[in-house]
Structure 1
Amino acid sequence: MVDSKEAEIIILPPQKPDAPSQQQLERLQNHSIVELEMVQQFHSWLDDKRQCRQACRVVGDSRTGKTVACNAYRHKHSESRSRGEAPFVPVMYLHAPTESGPRELFVGLLEYLQYRVTRGTIADLRDRVYRLLKTCQVEIIILDEAHRMRPKTFSELRDIFDLLNISVVLVGTDRLDAVVRRDEQVYNRFMACHRFHRMDSQMLEDTTAIWETYVLRLPQPSNLTSAPMQKILATSTRGYLGLLDDILRNAARRALQSGRSKIDLNLLTQAAAEYH
């Protein structure tokens, strides 16, 4: 038996990926906005609602791409500023916190428009918000996770739509429908609805090909649209775009970290196993 006091402990230094691989790993950590056909159709639908100043809903399961698509729309219509003039903010996008009341709504709108004074009564905040929305020529307000808002908050949004002629878009899961239908006056204004669906097999294959080419961009093709690869992805993603993105990025990172230039079937299986 070797005396532990006399034994030499050798600790191997961690293997560092080469510079190109490290850059690719960092790139895979960044969020990507890919304008899929369904996103383009959604943006055209939003354009119509914005031009007509119509209130509406956007409903779908979590991880179907609603938030990314809404963010992409905001980036396409970013604010513009001229010296000495108020900014022109055609599109506003807010993520509603849990149990959002009127105060949280108004403070969120004020902060989005970079207005520093966010104290006061609900009436004070409402007046400031109305004034700023007019000054900044806001055309559409997109509220994500809208099912988190309290009933009184929907009434405030209804008034913004009615009084200021601004399109208001409520985004959420099917729980949003249940919340909106509780108030007939709110539901009647937000009847128009766009739905995000899970991907079918053909859409999964097409989207996988786009991700391999434009998002992963590994040194060698991985043939992710082959039947064995698609079988794994169909089972593990269940048609959710967000899960497809997570799994493919996970597999790509595993490939680069192991010194490989593509994703093989074994790597994809390992990455997908985390999402069952």
Structure 2
Amino acid sequence: MNMPSTLLQLQPGTAVVYQNRLHRITHVLDLDEVLLVDEETNQVSHAKVGALEAVVGGTQSVVRPDLVQVLDKDWEEAKRRYEIIRPLLDKTDRSRLDVTERGKACGLHTNTLYEWIRRYEDSHLLTSLLPRIRNDKGSTKLTPEVETIIQAVVESEYLTKQRKSQQKVCDEVRKRCLYAGIEPPHDNTVRNRLKLLAGEHVLAKLEDLLTYPKSHRMPNLLVVGDTNNGKTMLVQRFCAQHPADDNPTGDGIRVPVLLVQAPPIPDEGRFYNAILELLFAPYKPNDRVDKKQFQVIKLLKYVGLRMLLIDEIHHVLAGNLNRQRAFLNVLKYLGNELQVPIVAVGTRDAFRALQTDPQLANRFEPAPLPRWDFDTDFLRLLASFERMLPLREPSTLHDTSLATKLFSMSEGYIGELSRLLTETSVKAVQSGKEKIDAKLLDTIDWISPSDRKRQIDREH
């Protein structure tokens, strides 16, 4: 049973028990949350104060540096730190207010002083205040403390139904880092992390919608992204996770999710034709639309449909305004009649199409899939792709020069990148090279997405 939090010294350096393991508080994020480090594994954790237990006589091993190798400037820094905290060391009734005021007087954060005090009182050695040598100099890797704060904020502020904007998530990460006396990451670092989670976030939303109880006003989702940015791949992956079931013990096949492509123009009859073909249902193309509608609704109820996904929804804009409205009314009618969520997938034009109907605009929650930037997350993406390549030799796709070339050729579109790597892998196998490198990429007959668009614009 946890001891009341009032018995804990809520300050850096305090030894506590968390999840039956000995930890030490490294940073206080606010009155309810702290960062901890496991005394044995050095793993950093984010925890609620109420989940901690007090410890009496927590200890910490002290690593003494080789004094011969200590630089003069580091000795001077250790002495400076000692002079800053010495008035606090001598104060037997030291409070957080005392530490805060001393920090303000010296231009330092409260938690920084607590860290120095903890290090000195653990050993009573001046060497404990020496600047710590970083082994990752020149690296852009985030510290475990910053990683933990980002993860905590993402979970509490972004991966929720009341998802906050990316800027508010960045602001919250900065606020928690500054409160803890930690150098906050750049906003772009946080945004890239959110971008990395965008696909998983959409899949999580789809899972939530799939289990949503039936009602007369079902929530819907609009997956928006640039052309060839992985939208279709994402929903196909979701459909693969929820395949049709032969249902041998029941009356008929069960189809929990159905993915259908919107017709090239907003045509209700052709839309019903596409659904009937996917269900292998016999129909007459020349039948009246109302007859097809009755057949579609009856079949979708019979197979137990729980979600309807419509790809290329931006095709709605290919018709005049009256046909657009008529087709959007079909979506409303199907959603109301079947009482299932509808997921529309398309480009940014799809958002504009749905905005023409205020009722649909309110029902469809946008879920954007942003294009990738050239950053560490893109390098991680390349590393994950390389693990799936059928090549005998390592290609090291995340190498800076090769990654730069791949990004330039794909322009950050995951669909383009996937196709590019597939074509190059085939050529690598055919050539016997069994790896992808810059020279092999130069032999691919490849036109970048923007160049293809310019060619089309010139032709028209």
What TM-score do the two structures reach when normalised by structure 2?
0.49
Residue 228 of structure 2: aligned partner: 63
SS of residue matched to 2:282: coil
* Alignment map for 1:203-222 (pairs within 5 Å): 203-214=377-388, 216-222=389-395
User: Which range moved further: 253-262 or 222-231?
Assistant: 253-262
User: Which range moved further: 136-145 or 243-252?
Assistant: 243-252
The reply to whether residue 146 of structure 1 matches residue 313 of structure 2 is yes
The reply to whether residue 268 of structure 1 matches residue 268 of structure 2 is no
Contact 2:198 2:368 in 1 (8 A): no
SS of residue matched to 1:57: strand
SS of residue matched to 2:304: coil
Contact 2:263 2:271 in 1 (8 A): no
CA distance in 2, matches of 1:228, 1:68: 28
CA distance in 1, matches of 2:367, 2:332: 19
Distance 1:118 1:167, change over 3 A: farther
Contact 1:232 1:272 in 2 (8 A): no
Distance 1:118 1:77, change over 3 A: farther
Amino acid at match of 2:219: Q
* Alignment map for 1:37-52 (pairs within 5 Å): 38-52=198-212
Q: Deviations over 1:121-149 (max 9, x none)?
A: 11111111111111111010000001113
Residue 260 of structure 2: aligned partner: 94
* Alignment map for 1:15-26 (pairs within 5 Å): none
What TM-score do the two structures reach when normalised by structure 1?
0.80
What count of residue pairs does the alignment treat as equivalent?
239
CA distance in 1, matches of 2:447, 2:427: 13
CA distance in 2, matches of 1:118, 1:109: 13
SS of residue matched to 1:271: coil
2:338 to 134, 154, 164: 164
Which of the two has higher C-alpha Rg? 2
CA distance in 1, matches of 2:422, 2:293: 44
SS of residue matched to 1:108: helix
SS of residue matched to 2:331: helix
The reply to whether residue 248 of structure 1 matches residue 425 of structure 2 is no
Contact 2:199 2:369 in 1 (8 A): no
Distance 1:250 1:117, change over 3 A: closer
Distance 1:173 1:137, change over 3 A: same
Distance 1:177 1:112, change over 3 A: same
2:238 to 41, 53, 73: 73
CA distance in 2, matches of 1:265, 1:117: 53
Contact 2:230 2:415 in 1 (8 A): yes
CA distance in 2, matches of 1:182, 1:39: 27
Amino acid at match of 1:184: P
Q: Deviations over 1:2-31 (max 9, x none)?
A: xxxxxxxxxxxxxxxxxxxxxxxxxxxxxx
Residue 271 of structure 2: aligned partner: 105
CA distance in 2, matches of 1:140, 1:71: 13
Q: Deviation of residue 64 (structure 1)? A: 0.7
Amino acid at match of 1:131: K
Q: Deviation of residue 117 (structure 1)? A: 2.1
Identity score, percent = 26
Residue 136 of structure 1: aligned partner: 303
Q: Structure 2: 5+ residue runs without aligned partners? A: 1-195, 213-217, 317-322, 452-460
CA distance in 2, matches of 1:118, 1:93: 22
Q: Deviation of residue 261 (structure 1)? A: 2.3
Residue 119 of structure 2: aligned partner: none
Contact 1:56 1:193 in 2 (8 A): yes
The reply to whether residue 232 of structure 1 matches residue 405 of structure 2 is yes
CA distance in 2, matches of 1:111, 1:273: 35
Contact 2:225 2:368 in 1 (8 A): yes
Across the aligned residues of Structure 1 and Structure 2, the Cα RMSD in angstroms comes to: 1.9
Q: Deviations over 1:179-223 (max 9, x none)?
A: 111121222222x11111111222321111111111x23111011
Residue 283 of structure 2: aligned partner: 117
Q: Deviations over 1:52-106 (max 9, x none)?
A: 2421211110111000111111111111123461211110001122103111111
CA distance in 1, matches of 2:435, 2:393: 5
CA distance in 2, matches of 1:74, 1:189: 22
Contact 1:103 1:122 in 2 (8 A): yes
User: Which range moved further: 157-166 or 81-90?
Assistant: 81-90
Amino acid at match of 1:80: D
Contact 1:141 1:169 in 2 (8 A): yes
Q: Deviation of residue 249 (structure 1)? A: 2.0
* Alignment map for 1:171-182 (pairs within 5 Å): 171-182=345-356
SS of residue matched to 2:310: strand
CA distance in 1, matches of 2:241, 2:308: 14
Residue 197 of structure 1: aligned partner: 370
